[in-house]
Structure 1
């Protein structure tokens, strides 16, 4: 057992028994939504996973330990504390060695999930190539981590604040299969459309499971991105969302927001200026992803 891992007994027992487990990230709790919606959403997402037949394992770093599976009290702490780090791979050694608290991004959550032996991970949307990356070189560590860590990543596509076309190109370069569930168009987080076709389409968890098995049993390490379009009744149309994004990017530039602070700033700006419409969509899509992730975990353990 890795000395830095602290696995919740329920999760540990499920893994030992070969039962389906779904990893969940914690950035959405500490940095993605305001309190109390963040805590309420986290608990509801866990309930969705349970309702679909799997065990939820929300992942975070607490007091320098990589915690796999959180109590309600720990989730409440993450939702209200003011000094929680946003932890990607580059931050993990410092946060752990200094025994700090950290909410894990996609990249960090994937790595910890893989260390614990969890194969399916659910998030809202992945990071990627930022707009203007040809001059800033701002490319999320989510993509490089997906190139080497063998976990299925269920998301609502790529965050729409990013350069989706370049992100898809980068994923292809890294050998990461991109599969959209149930439609030909690749989704863009808040919207079902992105203007890009999905590289692959599959229509059932069983089919996705067969792809995962084939990839990993061939020795092809790395993730598979499973894009799950937001339900139609909750989506914000892409042209409307693009207007909000343009305004948010301009505000970030004016305020000299850089690095890891960019994404939380943009999401908060969009939520405030869309009168909560984007927040409602964000909550809906993470629950929708949790259901598919749980169904995928169940199918994977049955094969």
Structure 2
């Protein structure tokens, strides 16, 4: 049986012609920002990919279909939709079967990208091991997805609200290549540095593409995580953002917020505490990842 995929003609033509396509998630639209900034940001990210010579494919579940690439009207519709499901591997099929609207997380976007034949996915930051996971067992499905789905993911590291050392340990256990782009230190989303060494370093899109293609030749399952540091002019230093994260985490614990609700709550509180600075940095790092994603996709298409 075929998966219920609806490809935007621009995306279908690019894939048929062997041209570079970059997948994009949709939770940043439905759960990351208010309307209209969410749609404006989504369009800006798509524009960056086109300007770099690749084709963007924003992915979402709508009307019982996985849409790979959205029209302008569909972006507006998604940006204003209510009660949108936040989809990962566990609930993606149920959402499709029920005909609901769902936004794709890292894991769900990787699944859809693989089904469509897209090798590269650009996002903000991946999920990971939550702080206190030794008691809560709260670990994002993104990590296991990276271990089993052959898509190269470009992100600004893992979200800094997470337990970064444990996240790196789990990725190592799962055999996921973690590649810092252009530096030796693992970036921490809003910050270029985390104090943690990156397992691997690569300095060009060509190197990343070559590693992706080599994994395919070796028959290795899973993808790669490329940790692309936020541009220096847009970063919030780790020492500055850490107290803000601690405050937001304490408030989440006091209010009993858990599971999928944690990350949106924390991001909202950090936006408020930093007077919008955290969101502005978030937008810039996503644009930066889109540019690198396009460069890697172009190199893979040439490979």
Shorter-chain TM range is over 0.9
The alpha carbon displacement at 1:254 in A equals: 1.2
Q: Secondary structure at the match of 2:162?
A: coil
The alpha carbon displacement at 1:3 in A equals: 4.0
Please name the residue that 2:13 is paired with. 13
Q: Which consecutive segments of 4 or more residues in structure 1 shift more than 2 A?
A: none
Q: Secondary structure at the match of 1:129?
A: coil
The worse-fitting range, judged by mean Cα deviation, of 265-274 and 133-142 is 265-274
Q: Distance in 1 between matches of 2:93 and 2:118?
A: 21
Q: Secondary structure at the match of 2:60?
A: strand
Task: Give runs of aligned pairs for residues 71-150 of structure 1, distance below 5 A.
Answer: 71-150=71-150
Q: Distance in 1 between matches of 2:79 and 2:246?
A: 29
Please name the residue that 2:300 is paired with. 300
Q: Could you list the per-position Cα deviations for residues 195-228 of structure 1 after superposition, in whole angstroms to 9, with x for gaps in the alignment?
A: 1011111100011111111112101110100010
State the superposition RMSD in angstroms: 0.9
Q: Distance in 1 between matches of 2:284 and 2:57?
A: 19
Q: Distance in 2 between matches of 1:110 and 1:288?
A: 19
Does the aligned pair in 1 maintain the 2:3–2:115 contact within 8 Å? Answer: no
Q: Could you list the per-position Cα deviations for residues 13-68 of structure 1 after superposition, in whole angstroms to 9, with x for gaps in the alignment?
A: 11011000000000000001122211100000000000000000000000121110
Q: Secondary structure at the match of 2:91?
A: helix
Q: Distance in 1 between matches of 2:2 and 2:22?
A: 20
TM-score by length of 2: 0.99
Task: Give runs of aligned pairs for residues 243-262 of structure 1, distance below 5 A.
Answer: 243-262=243-262
Q: Secondary structure at the match of 2:94?
A: helix
Q: Distance in 2 between matches of 1:3 and 1:156?
A: 30
Residue correspondences, number: 303
TM-score by length of 1: 0.99
The alpha carbon displacement at 1:83 in A equals: 1.5
Q: Distance in 2 between matches of 1:18 and 1:297?
A: 11
Task: Give runs of aligned pairs for residues 197-216 of structure 1, distance below 5 A.
Answer: 197-216=197-216
The alpha carbon displacement at 1:239 in A equals: 1.3
Q: Distance in 1 between matches of 2:19 and 2:89?
A: 28
Q: Secondary structure at the match of 1:32?
A: coil
The alpha carbon displacement at 1:2 in A equals: 2.4
Q: Could you list the per-position Cα deviations for residues 162-195 of structure 1 after superposition, in whole angstroms to 9, with x for gaps in the alignment?
A: 0000000100111100001101111000000011
Q: Distance in 2 between matches of 1:67 and 1:293?
A: 20
Q: Distance in 1 between matches of 2:206 and 2:280?
A: 30
The alpha carbon displacement at 1:230 in A equals: 0.1
Q: Secondary structure at the match of 2:90?
A: helix
Q: Distance in 1 between matches of 2:263 and 2:293?
A: 24
Q: Which sections of structure 2, spanning at least 5 residues, go unmatched?
A: none
Q: Secondary structure at the match of 1:135?
A: helix
Task: Give runs of aligned pairs for residues 199-278 of structure 1, distance below 5 A.
Answer: 199-278=199-278
Q: Secondary structure at the match of 1:196?
A: coil
Q: Distance in 1 between matches of 2:209 and 2:280?
A: 30
Q: Distance in 1 between matches of 2:210 and 2:68?
A: 26
Q: Distance in 1 between matches of 2:120 and 2:127?
A: 17
Q: Distance in 2 between matches of 1:8 and 1:256?
A: 41
Please name the residue that 2:178 is paired with. 178
Q: Distance in 1 between matches of 2:195 and 2:74?
A: 40
Give yes or no for the alignment of 1:51 onto 2:51. Answer: yes
Please name the residue that 1:164 is paired with. 164
Q: Secondary structure at the match of 1:83?
A: coil
